[in-house]
A and B are shown apart, each in its own frame.
Chain A
Amino acid sequence: MDQRKFKKMNRRELLKLTPVIALGAFAVPRLREPLLQEGLAFSDWASRKLFRPGHLAATFAASELTPFERFPINDYDVDDPGVIFENWSLTVSGAVQNPGDYKLSDIQALPKKQQNTRHVCVEGWDVIGRFGGTPLSEFLKFVGADPTASFITVECADDYYESLDMATALHPQTLLCYEMYDQPLTREHGAPLRLTVPTKIGYKHAKYLTDLKVTHVLEKIGYWEDQGYSWFYGL
Chain B
Amino acid sequence: MPEEVIEIESSERDEEPAHAVYEHPWVVRFTHWVNAIALVVMAGSGLQIFRAFPSFGAKIPQQDLLNWPKAFAIGGWLGGALQWHLTFMWIYIATGLFYLAYQIFSGNYRQVLFTRRDVAGVWPTARHYFLFGPKPPTREAYNPLQKLAYTSAISLGVLTVLTGFAIWKPIQFSWVARPMGGFHLARVWHFVSMWAILLFALGHLVMVILHGWNNFVSMLTGWKVDPEYPPQ
Residue B170 is within 8 A (CB to CB) of chain A in the complex: yes
B41 proximity list for chain A (CB < 8 A):
26
- A122 interfacial by beta-carbon distance below 8 Å: yes
Contact at A39–B26, with CB atoms within 8 Å?
no
Determine whether A40 belongs to the interface, using a CB cutoff of 8 Å to chain B: yes
Q: Are B79 and A224 in contact (CB under 8 A)?
A: yes
Q: Is B43 an interface residue (CB 8 A)?
A: no
For B190-232 the 0/1 string (1 means CB < 8 A from A) is 0000000000000000000000000001001111000000000
Contact A70 B60 (CB under 8 A): yes
Find out whether the CB atom of B30 lies under 8 angstroms from the CB atom of A55: no
Within 56-106 of B, Cβ neighbours of A (below 8 Å) are at 58-60, 62, 78-80, 82-84, 86-91
For B183, list chain A residues within 8 Å (CB): 118, 120, 126, 235
Q: Is residue B147 within 8 Å, beta carbon to beta carbon, of the partner chain?
A: no
Give the nearest-CB partner of A198 in chain B.
B171
Contact A40 B83 (CB under 8 A): yes
Asked whether B78 lies within 8 Å of A70 as measured between CB atoms, the reply is: no
Q: Which of B50, B83, B87 contacts A228 (CB 8 A)?
A: B83
| Interface residues on chain A, number (Cβ under 8 Å) | 53
Total contacting residues, chain B, CB less than 8 A: 51
Q: Bound state CA distance, A125 and B168, in angstroms?
A: 13
Residues of B contacting A: mostly: helix
Select one of B82, B169, B174 contacting A229, CB under 8 A: B82
**What separation, in Å, do the CA atoms of A31 and B10 have in the docked complex?**
47
Contact in complex: B30, A6 (CB < 8 Å): no
B7 touches A1 (CB 8 A): yes
Tell me, in angstroms, the Cα distance from A122 to B11 when the chains sit together.
Answer: 63
| A46 nearest in chain B by CB position | B90
Q: For B8, give its contact among A6, A14, A23, A71 (CB under 8 Å).
A: A6
Decide if B78 touches A3 in the complex (CB within 8 Å): no
Enumerate chain A residues within 8 angstroms of B20, measured Cβ to Cβ.
Answer: 6
What distance in Å separates the Cβ of A68 from its nearest Cβ neighbour in chain B?
11
The contact string, 1 if C-beta is below 8 Å from chain B, for chain A 184-215, is: 00000000000000110000000000000000
- B33 contacts the other chain (CB 8 A): yes
Indicate if the CB atoms of A55 and B52 lie closer than 8 Å. Answer: no
Is the pair A235, B172 in contact by a Cβ cutoff of 8 Å? yes
CA distance A3 to B29 in the complex (A): 23
Q: Which of A35, A118, A224 has the most CB of B within 10 A?
A: A118
When distances are taken between beta carbons in the complex, the residues of chain A under 8 Å from B171 are: 55, 57-58, 198-199, 234-235
A36-B6 in contact given A20-B30, A42-B90, A125-B59 (Cβ < 8 Å):
no
Residue A157 CB within 8 A of the other chain:
no
**Chain A residues with CB under 8 A of B222:** 13
The answer for the CA separation of A95 and B10 in the assembled complex, in Å, is 81
CB contacts (< 8 Å) of B9 on chain A: these are: 1-3
B59's partner among A10, A26, A121, A235 (CB-CB below 8 A) is: A121
Question: Residue A106 at the B interface, CB < 8 A?
Answer: no
Instruction: Tell me whether A219 is interfacial, beta carbon within 8 Å.
Output: no
Q: Which residues of A have CB within 8 Å of B82?
A: 40, 122, 229-230
- Pick the residue among A70, A120, A234 that contacts B58 (CB under 8 A): A70
Compute how far the CA of A129 lies from the CA of B203 in the bound complex, rounded to whole angstroms: 44
Chain A residues within an 8 Å CB radius of B170: 118, 120, 235
Task: List 11 A-B residue pairs with CB atoms under 8 Å apart, sorted by A's residue number.
Answer: A14-B220, A23-B91, A36-B80, A39-B86, A42-B90, A55-B172, A70-B60, A72-B60, A230-B82, A234-B169, A235-B171
Closest 8 CB pairs of A and B: A39-B87, A124-B53, A125-B59, A123-B52, A43-B86, A228-B79, A36-B83, A13-B221
Name 7 extra pairs, CB < 8 A, besides A26-B41, A51-B172. A2-B8, A6-B8, A14-B221, A47-B169, A50-B169, A50-B172, A50-B173
